[in-house]
């Protein structure tokens, strides 16, 4: 669950505790181009205050107007925006996009407390809602499960859907971790160097003790895992990469210049890795945006990770002739 979804649920819970009328609005289906994906959340208070988003803004304005003019939804119901070209234009839906939303009143916020508590322990939780009866239930979910709607029942998954394993606990890792959490990643750090791990203090980040190769094996990377080697120490980074490149992780990257990464690939080829496995390595890591500071490098790294996750080919890689020994990501 990304930080925005958590904020939506926290506000909905607090508003309900203050005896305010509260509705949750969830994107359940989209057609054409839509600014928010299925499962996106918005909380709406009885005076029109909102947290979260389901579109670019115009749909939110209409929902606010409905509440402020006295409309009250007392059971789960569906609403569609953008059916006609004129309506799509009116609500700012690009390229004829259409949104189908689920509105439901929050009468008992107990389930929200449970979701927030369980996701704070990094659990994945699925909430199933029967639109006909209004009955809802919580159950454990598995990584790789997504929002589902069959016309009668919705199933929303809360909790971090992706994992990011960082090898290295330096300043870049701290910035990268904070940004990654906002992008729905559960973040893990491995760094056996005492001078780094003893000062590590990043909220909601899991520390994994041990040597990088052992940690990667025990971590059991899956198709929802990204692994980045950030120590600039071949003895540590290469150990992790030797195991990571054999795994199903969707993204594997290493910090360093093009020259350093070419040398790294030569070293990796001396071990039991195939050419195809070595070719999976993203290095230099990140998109080329001229990054130099830790925050800029973190943006470049996460931009590339997200592009790979979303199936979009990165197009801003550094030109082959533009080598650099700077710590910039790309």
pLDDT tens digits, 2-16:
667 889 999 999 999
Q: Which contacts of 144-153 are long-range, i.e. CB under 8 A and separated by 24 or more positions?
A: 144/222, 144/223, 144/224, 146/38, 146/39, 147/28, 147/37, 147/38, 147/39, 149/28, 149/29, 149/38, 149/102, 153/128, 153/129
CATH value at residue 251: 3.40.50.720
Q: Does 167 share its domain with 248?
A: yes
| Mean pLDDT confidence for 287-309 | 95
Q: Of all residues in the chain, what percent carry a pLDDT higher than 70? A: 89
324 found inside a domain: no
Q: Is residue 63 part of a domain?
A: yes
The verdict on 135 and 225 lying in the same domain is no
In-domain check, residue 320: no
Q: Is the pLDDT of residue 329 over 60?
A: no
Per the structure, the complete domain to which residue 234 belongs is given by 162-309
Residue 176 lies in a domain: yes
Q: Is residue 329 part of a domain?
A: no
Same domain, 175 and 284: yes
Q: What pLDDT is stored for residue 72 in this prediction?
A: 92
Strands 162-167 and 153-158 come out as unpaired
Say whether both 145 and 167 belong to one domain. Answer: no
pTM equals 0.77
| pLDDT one-digit tens code per residue, 116-159 | 999 888 889 999 999 999 999 999 998 888 899 999 999 999 98
The answer on 126 and 23 residing in a single domain is yes
198 shares a domain with 84? no
Domain identity same for 106 and 194: no
Is 152 a domain residue?
Answer: yes
Number of domains composing the chain: 2
Q: Which residue blocks in 258-293 are alpha helix, DSSP H?
A: 258-268, 275-279
Within-domain flag for 255: yes
**Under 8 Å between Cβ of 249 and 216:** no
Both 128 and 215 in one domain: the answer is no
pLDDT at residue 34, rounded to an integer: 65
Residue 327 lies in a domain: no
Q: How confident is the model at residue 57 (pLDDT cuts 50, 70, 90)?
A: confident
Q: Could you tell me if 183 and 249 lie in one domain?
A: yes
Asked which of 124, 158, 192 is the last residue of a domain, the reply is 158
Average confidence score pLDDT of the chain: 89
């Amino acid at each position: 669950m990304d930080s925005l979804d958590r904020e939506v649920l926290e506000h909905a819970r607090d508003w309900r505790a203050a005896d305010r009328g509260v509705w949750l609005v969830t994107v359940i289906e989209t057609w054409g181009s839509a600014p928010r994906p299925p499962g996106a959340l918005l909380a709406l208070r009885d005076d029109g205050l909102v947290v979260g988003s389901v579109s670019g803004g115009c749909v939110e304005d209409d929902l606010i107007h409905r509440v402020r003019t006295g409309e009250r939804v007392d059971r789960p119901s569906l609403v569609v925006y953008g059916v006609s070209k004129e309506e799509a234009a009116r609500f700012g839906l690009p390229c004829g996009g259409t949104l189908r939303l689920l509105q439901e009143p929050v009468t008992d916020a107990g389930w929200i407390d449970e979701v927030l508590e369980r996701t704070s322990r990094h659990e994945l939780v699925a909430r199933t809602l029967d639109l006909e009866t209004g009955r809802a239930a919580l159950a454990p979910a598995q990584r790789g499960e997504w929002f589902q709607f069959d016309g009668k029942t919705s199933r929303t998954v809360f909790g971090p859907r992706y994992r990011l394993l960082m090898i290295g606990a330096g300043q870049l890792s701290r910035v990268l971790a904070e940004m990654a959490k906002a992008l729905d990643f559960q973040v893990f750090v491995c760094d056996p160097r005492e001078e780094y791990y003893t000062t590590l203090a990043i909220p909601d980040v899991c520390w994994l003790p041990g040597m990088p190769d052992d940690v990667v094996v025990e971590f059991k990377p899956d198709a929802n895992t990204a692994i980045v080697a950030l120590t600039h120490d071949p003895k540590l980074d290469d150990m992790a990469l030797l195991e990571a490149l054999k795994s199903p992780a969707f993204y594997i990257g290493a910090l360093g210049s093009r020259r350093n990464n070419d040398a790294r690939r030569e070293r990796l080829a001396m071990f039991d890795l195939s050419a195809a496995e070595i070719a999976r390595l993203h290095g230099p890591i990140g998109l080329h945006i001229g990054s130099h500071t830790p925050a800029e490098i973190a943006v470049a790294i996460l931009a590339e990770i997200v592009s790979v996750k979303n199936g979009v080919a990165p197009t801003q890689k550094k030109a082959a002739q533009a080598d650099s020994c700077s710590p910039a990501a790309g």
